[in-house]
Structures are given as structure tokens and as C-alpha cells.
Amino acid sequence: MGLTKEGVLEAAVALADEVGGGAPSMRALAKRLGVEAMSLYHHFRNKDLILDGMVDRVFSEIALPPEDLEWRARCGCAGTRCGRC
């Protein structure tokens, strides 16, 4: 199976989790994927678009409180796993 946008983003988030301290370099990301750095540009025009995709991917994993809760309860749910969130 070839390189995909989702595969690149998955590897980028995993690499950032491992190394910490900011975004991984294009070279390090390409090495992790077993490709040359230039092949990443086939899927993303620049590194900023990879970073945007990483942020979107991570934010999509955040559970939001149900909208039917009163606003104070919603604030209390934020960042926790209450029984309703």
C-alpha cells in the first residue's frame, strides 16, 4: 500500500508524541515512513499543511460535553470523562 495523507498524519502525530518539543522534521517523518522527504510533498504542499492536519487530527479526538447540558455542567465536563461526556 502506498503513502496516503492519513498515513502521513498518523505517523507525524506519533512521531511528535515520541520526540516531544514541537513538530517533527520532514526528514525524520520521511525516514519513519520509509520514503524520501520530497515524496511527502506529493500529499502536502508544505510542512504547515502537515501541522494543520496534525492539529485537526488531535482536536478531533477530544470529547465534547453534550449540548443538552446546562452551561455550568458543560464547563465542569470539559477535560473530564464524566458519565455524560
Straight-line distance from the first to the last Cα atom of the chain, in angstroms, rounded to the nearest whole number: 37
What's the CATH code of the domain at 14?
A: 1.10.10.60
DSSP 60: T
Contact 30, 36 (CB under 8 A): yes
The total number of structural domains in the chain stands at 1
- Residue 61: enclosing H or E segment and its boundaries? none
- The residue segments making up the domain with residue 5 are 1-85
pLDDT by position in tens, the chain (length 85): 589 999 999 999 999 999 887 778 999 999 999 999 999 999 999 999 999 999 999 999 887 778 888 888 777 765 555 555 5
